[in-house]
A and B are shown apart, each in its own frame.
Chain A
Amino acid sequence: MVSLTINGRVVQANKGEMLLTVTRREGIDIPALCHHDAVEPFGACRLCMVEITKKEWDGWTNYVAACLYPVEDGLIVQTHSSKVNELRRTVLDLLLARCPNSPEIRQLAAEYGVTQTAYEEIPDADNCILCGLCTRVCERLGFKAISTVGRGHDKVVAPPLKEAPPDCVGCLSCAQVCPTNVIQYKDEGNKRTIWNKSFELIACKQCGKQIITRDFAEALSSQRNIPADYFELCDECHRKELSVKMGSIVSWSREAAS
């Protein structure tokens, strides 16, 4: 255990934990767009910058990304000092120039008092902030269907050769974790379309409810050794089946007892 001071309060933390994990546990709201607990911290959005200092630093301070900074004994952290807020305003100003139409970025920027960017807005901008959370989650899931392509101005998130990705199974995790909801998908009839690839959704045998795609179910069956017939019914019909089975068991035991 290490002991550190966050906003004047002494806090205990485990060794090796990142600052952002500790502040979130303590209920301190630090904005972070590229962070997700399922993947390793990446430090792409630079919004979780905090001010750190130590007694022996003689008043010198440093500014670090909280998601990537491991806690140390005797660390003194300021999460919302005027200098930190100024840093976040600059980052949000730049993000606003990149994604002027994103409601999530606009709202966060407004919270920090930035309503209009001081920079030139990118013409025909999409809402992607290039944090790479979608690509990292896809890699974590083991599919590696999408990645960042290109460098500098040309950098985009795309499948290989910008064609329908052969490794994608249509699990929608990329779209679910995207902090600015930029990844579009469509569920129509029994078809799901994402990344220009079409998938068949498994319909429940009894009620027709669709949960996941056939490709995803096949991947789970083969990689994780889950029987394929588990995916034939939806969760609601599984519950009904279980209640009927339990009823049968009870009536058998009643008959056996009488």
Chain B
Amino acid sequence: MKQRLIVTPDLCTGCRTCELACAFAHPIKGKPGRSRIYPLPTGKSEMWTPVVCLQCDDPACAKSCLVDAITRNEETGAMELDNDKCVKCMACVAACPFGCSLHDTLHDLVVKCDLCGGDPVCAHFCPTKALTCRPVTPTRRKAVV
């Protein structure tokens, strides 16, 4: 079942629990990895919002990847990056218009949100339900091309 991570900025308090959950859900060699989700201030009356990959219908990251390392997981609907295929050219990091393809400089890896294989850990840990996950309904409106 395709999943969609729903972000409700109204409810976000900027506690950064999602960031912590993400780092621990994606460990590298037993250590927390770089978080794929970033709570950032919106500049409007102390409102925060988690910034996370939108899993675009027409993704610039996959289009920019010249070795086809970023592909859609048809089961979860997430764009997933294969680190064994990645040649670290940084094309996706530069091309993503939302800045959600990230370079983990500590481990020298490119990382992005993969929806944790269909069950996003950040949504489980969000104390205010600013992040929720729900399956995409079949009657979803088609993208305007």
Interface residues of A (CB under 8 A from B): 36-38, 137, 140-142, 171-173, 176-177, 202, 211-212, 216-217, 220, 224-226, 230-231, 233-244, 246-251
Interface segment, one of B22-30, B36-44, B118-126, B133-141:
B36-44
Are A250 and B44 in touch, CB under 8 angstroms? yes
Q: Is B10 touching A250 in the complex (CB atoms < 8 A)?
A: yes
Contact assessment for B49 and A247 in the assembled complex, using a CB-CB cutoff below 8 Å = yes
Q: List 18 additional A-B contacts (Cβ < 8 Å) besides A141-B87, A235-B101.
A: A36-B87, A37-B84, A141-B89, A216-B91, A220-B64, A225-B63, A226-B60, A226-B63, A234-B94, A235-B99, A235-B100, A237-B99, A239-B38, A243-B43, A246-B7, A248-B44, A249-B9, A250-B47
Q: A141-B67, A220-B64, A226-B60 are in contact. Are A173 and B89 (CB under 8 A)?
A: yes
Please report which residues of chain B, range 1-19, place their CB below 8 angstroms from some CB of chain A when the two chains form the complex: 7, 9-10
For the complex, count residues of B whose C-beta is within 8 A of A.
39
- Which A residue's beta carbon lies closest to that of B42? A247
Contact call A173/B87, Cβ cutoff below 8 A: yes
Chain A residues whose C-beta falls within 8 Å of the C-beta of B107 in the assembled complex: none
The answer, yes or no, to whether B31 is at the interface (CB within 8 Å) is no
The CA-CA distance from A244 to B49 in the complex, in Å, is: 9
Q: List 17 A-B contacts (CB under 8 A).
A: A37-B85, A38-B69, A140-B67, A141-B87, A173-B87, A176-B87, A216-B91, A224-B63, A226-B63, A230-B94, A231-B94, A234-B99, A238-B98, A239-B99, A239-B100, A247-B42, A248-B44
Within 8 Å by CB of A243, from B42, B86, B93, lies B42
Say yes or no: is B51 at the interface (Cβ < 8 Å to chain A): yes
Q: Does B20 sit within 8 A of A, measured CB to CB? A: no
B51 x A242 contact (CB < 8 A): yes
Q: Tell me the bound Cα distance from A233 to B60 in angstroms.
A: 14
Q: Are A243 and B51 in contact (CB under 8 A)?
A: yes
**Docked complex Cα distance between A231 and B90 (Å):** 11
Cβ-closest chain A residue relative to B68: A38
For the complex, what is the distance from the CA of A211 to the CA of B96, rounded to whole Å? 12
**Which of A137, A176, A211, A246 touches B93 (beta carbons < 8 Å)?**
A211
Contacts of B64 in A (CB 8 A): 220, 224, 226
Q: CB distance B60 to A230 under 8 Å?
A: yes
A212-B51 in contact given A37-B82, A140-B67, A243-B42 (Cβ < 8 Å): no
CB-based contact A217/B94 at 8 Å: yes
Shortest beta-carbon distance from B70 to chain A in Å? 12
A235-B99, A236-B99 as given contacts; A38 in contact with B87, CB under 8 Å: yes
Residue contact B66 to A243, C-beta cutoff 8 Å: no
Closest to A238 in B: B99
Q: Which residues of B contact A171 (CB under 8 A)?
A: 89-91
- Nearest residue (CB) in A for B51 is A239
Task: Indicate the member of B48, B49, B99 with the most A CB atoms within 10 Å.
Answer: B99
**In angstroms, how far is the closest chain A Cβ from the Cβ of B104?**
12
Output the least CB separation between A99 and chain B (Å): 22
B66, B82, B85, B100, most chain A CB atoms within 10 A = B66
Q: Once the chains are docked, how many angstroms separate the CA of A87 from the CA of B138?
A: 57
Chain B's closest residue to A21 (CB) is B84
Contacting pair B97 A247 (CB below 8 A): no
Lowest 8 A-B CB distances belong to which pairs?
Answer: A247-B42, A238-B99, A235-B99, A243-B40, A239-B99, A38-B67, A247-B44, A37-B84
Q: Is the CB of B89 within 8 A of A216?
A: yes
Tell which of B49, B84, B91 touches A212, judged by Cβ atoms closer than 8 Å.
B91
A190 to chain B, nearest CB (A): 15
Task: For B101, list chain A residues within 8 Å (CB).
Answer: 235
- A38 and B82 alpha carbons, distance in the complex (Å): 10
